[in-house]
Structure 1
Amino acid sequence: MVQNADPGGLGDKAGATTGHYEQKLSRSLSTWGNIMITLSGVTPAVSVFAIAPVALVEAGSGTFLSFIFAAILGVVMALCWAELSSSYPISGGDYALVWHSFKGRAKPLAGPMSFITFALYVDFIAFIPATIALGAGEYLGVVFSVDAKILGAAIMILAALVAMLKIRFNAILTGIFLGIEMLALLTLTVLGIIHAHHFGALIHPQLGNSHSVLVPVAFSGVLALTAVAIFSYNGYANAVNFAEETKGSHRTIAKAILISLLITVVAELLPITAVIVGAPSLSKLTTSAIPLEYFIKATSSNTVYDIVAIGIALAVFNATLAIILSYARILFSASRDKAWPGKLSDWMAWVHPKTQSPWLPTAIVGVAGAILCLTVSLGTLANLTGASLVADYAIIAIAAIVARTTGATRHSHYRMPLWPLPPILAIAGLVYVFTQQTGYLLEVTLITIAIGLLYWLIVILPQKGKAWDLREIAQEGDSQ
């Protein structure tokens, strides 16, 4: 392993001549250490407490079916990510996977397609951490009587400071907090099972109206909220963002992704189902400002809710920390690939010599998230992120098809079963879900894609390979 304190990575000339990135980040994570951070970024507890309620108040008990459909999409998508990531375990994640998939005759599409993917991730980098922090602030504000926006912003800043420390320390810390949030989910599941009686509502979606009367939910509404459910599960593929810090990443990164998805679906779907079938009143659950607060207090006590809320506080911090760790590495990788003009890329790609972490990208993610917590509503953040995720997933599914046909993944240590069925099913499902989004959400996503393409045409393309000419990670790095 080579340590490098050179600001901007100017000492990476050797890597440029060999076609491989220089090893700057600390390759000190085990596969399970990677999974712990990845799951903490998915944050099943915060997804259930902060994101699932967005679906509950819009799709009612149809939330169950939304999460089922999202889980099915998750499986076929995980197979795509596993094959691509095992071939190209690079910190840049999705944009790097797309770039390397387009080889041979498809090479001219590598630049624009990968930069569009990166543009979508810039949305995620801004929206997702803020969504998690702000959603938790609404719960914790009830307990601590603090404005949710201020609390969310504080969580963002504190998490960013911790994220600047060594990755191994963060893996241990996130693992401990992950155990605590699983206990909060177990509490929800047990309470729901004890009081279970609304089983029919799982198959026949219902939602409370303004008169506290249950009304049917249209199937199209259930499908529309699948985007929110996809957001709730999102993050299992972030294992590849820590690939350059994981031992044996070429061989084990597919395993990390698939295990992360399995645990995510079980940890989220079970408590959500239990809450729906165990709620004393579906009408009150689906019309409550904070549905899970209503559920816990109605099935137990205020004290139990306060204890769970504290657990969620730790889970939120854990999730925000893990997501900042992940997205900082995407910005670091993009900067290494010269995404930004002039010296900005050099500064953004600098790795601290002692902690071996990308400090400036980490700080940027934290500050941007804090600003959004203070200025944008939770519902807006959750919905905007869901639509952009659907577009990103579709590009990855397309890349999984292209990569096989171009031979880009012929050396992969993992090959998905039944190819090309998984990516074809994923594309079909994602296209339908995307068309069910509101015009506003579609416009935001399409504008993001257009900005990414325009930036590539104006800033990247004229440099004729001096920027955005991606490399690979050396196979021998696995043994370091």
Structure 2
Amino acid sequence: MNIMSRIFRKEEVSRYQNKDAHLERTLRVRDFLALGVGTIVSTAIFTLPGVVAADHTGPSVSLSFLVSAIVAALVAFVYAEMASVMPFAGSAYTWISILFGEFFGWIVGWALIAEYMIAVSFVASGFSANLQGLLKPFDVSLPNALSNSLGTNGGMIDVIAAIVVVITALLLARGASETARVQNTLVVLKVLAIFLFIIVGISVINIGHYVPFIPEYKATAAGSFGGWQGIYAGSSVIFIAYIGFDSIAANSGEAINPQKTMPLGILGSLGIAVGLFVAVSLVLVGMFDYTAYKDNAEPVGWALRTSGYETVAVIVQAVSVIGMFTALIGMMLAGSRLLYSFGRDGILPSWLGKLNKKNLPNRALFILTIVAVIVGSVFPFGFLAQLISAGTLVAFMFVTIGLYALRRREGKDLPKPAFKLPLYPVMPIIIFICVFAVFWGLSGQAKFYTMLWFIIGIIYYLFYILKSSFKKR
């Protein structure tokens, strides 16, 4: 087989059915709802509403959340159909390999592995920062060298970020069903803490803080502020809050009755998350003028303490820190299954695709843990945040276009889905344009680093297929 034939070779569906047959299908709809809500409703809900309000939107931050939510929901519809037809480990990587060929599958998978690895590190770094903030009033602290990333405030390594990643990996190594029980409990606690903030915050809302709801547009150092330009800029920043729903699809190889479970899990968890994000953002900007949240890393806790609810602030922040653990579970579960898929298909070393005696991909989990510990404990929080969305949006564009290839094969070599994206064939084009618009709204630095990441991925792939070709001669 020559190189061009190899690049455009479409993978057989039976290959994935056979290779994933040993994964145990133990996850139900409630498990995927908890997984999705736990992953999506994480660090962002306690930080982004204040940050985006101060930098881009003013009181209309909820509109940025809604704009991002609409785009995320449209992509989620596509994911729901894809996952119900092809419930295999690896999600978009596996789907695109089947629909367009190995090379395009690798490009999408390369984008997603950046999302999962960086997102794990991002959440671990946020967990560490919030836990340190929670303990500070009690005079409990670590030396700067052990509590900050390399080069930040005299830091050498963020020990807390490293430890929480290792603890999450040890839990996941016990299996998806056991992890799901812990996840479900923590998600309920986190949602209750958010409701507590909303109820208490409503009692101190000043209607005057909503006027004008959409401030006049002006250019600032942070980019566009006010007007619809500010709402658009804010939606691109906020989109990072919603990307966790795709982690559900990565675990579809372990879903019970995936034709029903996957659409309900993906769309249900996103719907719950949107409601919580909009409610928190409306309450937060109603409690204080949006300018008060400028450069505020913990706007929710600050707003409660400043309003005189110090005990409530401690409770909400404590639960929010614990709740970040659920996002780590979701991202590490998805990331390890994606690495397993790379090993399963031989694009990365084949030992990554081996299962242990309990049919768990713990070798892939081990590698993900090592990388996340290094990245999350060494690189600063702000640097990680800007790298997550771009690669994910590229993968979303590929999956959206892939729907045209999927529809031609449904009912033939692929099963008919229990859920279909409405308004086909117009809707995929609309979704693609929307996703591209969000991507274009990202910072130039984020797009530059994404380009470098893809160049590295393409070089690796070309080296891989050349090496494979020489081996067969």
User: What TM-score comes out, normalization by structure 1 length?
Assistant: 0.83
Count of matched residue pairs:
435
Selected match of 1:236 from 245, 253, 267: 245
Displacement of 1:409 after TM fit? Answer: 5.9
Distance 1:376 1:63, change over 3 A: farther
Correspondent of 2:104 among 113, 125, 140: 113
For residues 42-91 of structure 1, the C-alpha deviation after alignment (integer angstroms, 9 at most, x for no partner) is 2x143201454553443253532221111110121111111111111111
Structure 2 CA distance for partners of 1:217 and 1:23, relative to 1, 3 Å: same
Pair 1:456–1:466, CA change in 2 (3 A): same
Work out whether residues 192 and 275 of structure 1, in 8 Å CA contact, stay in contact via their aligned partners in 2: yes
Query: Is residue 159–residue 321 contact of structure 1 (8 Å, CA) maintained in 2?
Result: yes
1:330 paired residue number: 338
Instruction: Give the equivalent residue in structure 2 for 1:358.
Output: 361
What is aligned with 1:476? none
Query: For each residue in 1:285-323, what CA deviation from the matched residue of structure 2 results, as whole angstroms up to 9, or x when unmatched?
Result: 234343223212123432222211210121012221222
| Aligned match of 1:424 | 429
Cα 1:259–1:466 change in 2 (3 A) is farther
Q: Is the 8 A contact 2:32 2:266 kept in 1?
A: no
Alignment of 1:30-429 (within 5 A): 30-42=28-40, 44-61=41-58, 62-102=60-100, 110-145=101-136, 146=141, 147=147, 149-196=158-205, 197=207, 198-204=209-215, 216-217=225-226, 219-277=228-286, 279-340=287-348, 344-345=349-350, 347-354=351-358, 356-405=359-408, 411-429=416-434
Q: Deviations over 1:24-44 (max 9, x none)?
A: 2222222222322232222x1
Displacement of 1:116 after TM fit?
A: 0.7
* SS state at 1:419 partner: coil
Please give the secondary structure, in 2, of the residue aligned with 1:117. helix
Distance 1:453 1:144, change over 3 A: same
Q: Which moved more, 1:151-160 or 1:404-413?
A: 404-413
CA–CA distance in 2 between the matches of 1:188 and 1:466? Answer: 61
Q: Which stretch shifts more, 167-176 or 61-70?
A: 61-70
Distance between the aligned counterparts of 2:61 and 2:135, measured in 1? 29
Three-state SS of the structure 2 residue aligned to 1:266 is helix
CA contact (8 A) 2:56 2:225 kept: no
Q: Partners of 1:157 and 1:421 in 2: how far apart?
A: 45
- Partners of 2:471 and 2:272 in 1: CA distance: 41
Contact preservation (8 Å) 1:90, 1:96: yes
1:333-382 deviations in whole A, cap 9, x for unaligned?
Answer: 22111121xxx32x21222213x322122122222222222222222211
Report if the CA contact (8 A) 2:96-2:104 is conserved.
Answer: yes
Q: 1:60 to 1:83 in 2, by over 3 A?
A: same
- CA 1:275 to 1:424, structure 2 compared with 1: closer, same or farther past 3 Å? same
Deviations 1:152-210 (A, max 9, x none): 22211211111111211111110000001001211222233222323335433799x99
Cα distance between partner residues in 1 of 2:33 and 2:465: 34
Distance in structure 2 (CA, Å) of the matches to 1:88 and 1:357: 20
221 and 445 in structure 1: CA distance in 2 versus 1, 3 angstrom threshold: farther
Aligned to 1:235, the other structure's residue is in SS state helix
Output the amino acid matched with 1:311. V
Specify whether residues 221 and 152 from structure 1 end up closer, same or farther in structure 2 by C-alpha distance, changes over 3 A only. Answer: farther
Farther-moved stretch of structure 1 (23-32 vs 193-202): 193-202
**Is the contact between residue 90 and residue 341 of structure 2 (CA under 8 Å) also seen in structure 1?**
yes
Query: Do 1:59 and 1:205's aligned partners in 2 also have CA atoms closer than 8 Å?
Result: no
Cα separation, 1, equivalents of 2:405 and 2:14:
26
Cα distance in 2 for residues equivalent to 1:18 and 1:237: 19
Q: Against the structure 1 CA distance between its residues 229 and 395, is the aligned structure 2 distance closer, same or farther, given a 3 Å change threshold?
A: same
Structure 1 residues 52 and 336, CA, compared in 2 at 3 Å: closer, same or farther? farther
- Cα separation, partners in 2 of 1:127 and 1:225, compared to 1, 3 Å: farther
* Counterparts in 2 of 1:134 and 1:202: CA distance versus 1, 3 Å: farther
Q: Aligned to 1:240, what secondary structure does the other structure show?
A: helix
Q: Distance in 1 between matches of 2:97 and 2:133?
A: 46
Distance 1:57 1:114, change over 3 A: farther
- Structure 2: runs of 5+ lacking an equivalent: 1-12, 142-146, 149-157
For residue 387 of structure 1, report the CA deviation from its aligned partner.
1.9
Q: Which amino acid aligns with 1:397?
A: T
Question: TM-score when scaled to structure 2?
Answer: 0.84
CA distance in 1, matches of 2:171, 2:471: 34
Identity among equivalent pairs (%): 20
8 Å CA contact retained: 1:83, 1:409: no
User: Shift in Å at residue 219 of structure 1?
Assistant: 3.7
Query: Structure 1 residues 47, 216: CA separation in 2 closer, same or farther (over 3 Å shift)?
Result: closer
The alpha-carbon distance between structure 1 residues 221 and 389, as it changes in their structure 2 partners (threshold 3 A), is: farther
Measured after TM superposition, the shift of residue 114 of structure 1 is 1.1
